[in-house]
Structure 1
Amino acid sequence: MIFDGSSERRGSILVTGGAGYIGSHAVLALLDAGWPVIVLDNLTTGFRWAVDPRASFVEGDVTDSALVRSILTYHEVAAIMHFAGSVVVPESVVDPLKYYGNNTAATCSLLRNAVDCGVPHIVFSSTAATYGSPDVAQVCENTPTRPINPYGRSKLVVEAMLADAAAAYPINYCALRYFNVAGADPAGRTGQSTAGATHLIKVCVEAALGRRELVEVYGTDYDTHDGTGVRDYIHVSDLADAHVHALHLLMDDPEASHTMNCGYGTGFSVLDVLDAVERISGREIRRVMRPRRPGDPAALIADNNLILSRTRWRPRHARLGDIVRHALAWEDQLARRKPGQPVGQREIAA
């Protein structure tokens, strides 16, 4: 089914985790498309200044049922985009219960409140980590899901929970499985701001600007064109746009739910990324070669035919150079931002 713009726009969109990296970009995409937005974020990893001033902001946790219910009812929330959660794979291995709490149990609480308050649609931030180490380089939605870490498993359990809820209650959902998210808003309104972030392009950009001494390359003997791991890098603004299209899809057919990959269907190696950052920044990056890490596949690329066929979503920033340029511009802006610099958002009562 393709969205044709006929959905009636009633109520607001609640964006959980809307002060974080991907969530803040989704807020921009929704606002730019004309939707009223409420952001709920506990600011554990998000930033208050990252929330566009056109959105209303509530500081709080998705597990606070009284708070969530008051937001859903007072603002007549028509749909939820759920980004709140924990996302660092190595941390999930050493502290798995944190991930089952923040990702799985917290989503169960949010879903219960959505059902009880009559919110019919939810767009869920899932991950390609649900596939684990697949036997094929390019994965489609029917590729077996065999996550190899608690992060991936915590998201896969939520996907099952959503499917069960959609079968039992008047709610539908879209789970979007992200591949490697990178870049920043082309207009410089928000970007990846978390200290110590592990995303490769973020790390390379920091190194190019002198904020890291080196970049470690894990594995140089993979069966790829240069021996390093190949990944599908998706621009964060394209990903945010995919969420808006997913929302329209749910509203156009309330009986249907969807699980779709979000990627470009092309891959770049670690060395490709390093070369691109060096070329665009004009600065050399020190590279240190390390052995492979357990569980890292040689290549992980999205088959994106499903989202292309079901929606009118089309990537606008798919060139690696564009992703790197936007990431560099944001990193430079971030370095010049004054700590706690106000951006004029308006606070609201729940």
Structure 2
Amino acid sequence: MKTDLNLLLECLKYQMDNAFSQKEALVTIHSICQQNSNASVYFREIGGLMFVKNLAKSSEHSMVKEAALYTLGAIAEKNVYCQQTLCTSELFEDLTWFLSNDSNINLKRMSVYVILVLVSNNRTGQTLVRETGCITVLSRLFRTVISKHELDLSDKNVFQSYQLWSSVCSTLCVCVNNPQNDENQMFCCSLFPHANEWLKNCTTPEIIRPICSFIGLTLANNTYVQKYFVSVGGLDVLSQVLMQLESDSHETLSSAKLAVVVTKTVDACIADNPTFGIVLSKYHIVSKLLALLLHESLDSGEKFSIMLTLGHCTEDCEENQYDLFKNNGLPLMIQALTESQNEELNKAATFVLHNCKK
């Protein structure tokens, strides 16, 4: 392995005029490092990591830049020391430059991939992505890469743009979460109005899943951001989407699964602010959640998410408690307690029943 990596690094250094050879060498380095975690450490020790980083910036050939970034991302993903070595303001500025300029879509995707890897589970990366302005460029891509009015994923160009947009969503998610980053959450909440527009215009899984992940993680455990989301109509939009999906779930199983995704996002918004339950009462969301709970295609984990949301809905809202009574929610909770062996489900059912005793 060591001999191979030394030879491949030499190949990179002495084939500066041969883009194809450099790309092949990078692909091979990537493959070796993926198969052997020690390879990444050794490649860093012999100066390979820094050479590839500089190559990504200096090469005139897009295919070499893309392969270099792909290799950097894979190595950093495999080894935390390599992630730390690459986590510099200089690299974030280079990646921001690739994203800001007229780069081809593959180069942008590779740049976003490297950002995602550098920021993931890394508070230093979360800070640098903000301080270098990189998160500003990511948020612009979130708003502009695809049109919410023309999402034909069978079109090759549209699909490539969608893949970039989806990667941007994933990267914004790690900017705000794990560890939770309040400052990045505050920045990303400016995208909520745009996310709302997406949800109003498009209820396909390809849009709902990434948007709900982004919203849920951006407002998680942050009461200020949750209040802002409600103030721009976010909870109303989620309620409307949930109503539509619950209605569709009688015909298609996938709509029931998607409705649970939306339910979890609703719960992330109201868990710390049960008074927001009043917004949900306008749409009789409790009755929709009870109907979903009876869906045979859902597993115990999904049913737990629905019950937990019911608990938060009824925690501080008499209208929702009344909706629960009116739609036979109490017998359902009691049935769950008596029939289920799942401890989490039982806790959630007890939570709902406790709220209704108040």
TM-score w.r.t. the length of structure 2 is: 0.28
**Greater relative CO (CA pairs within 8 A, separation 6+):** 1
- More helix per residue: 2
- More strand per residue: 1
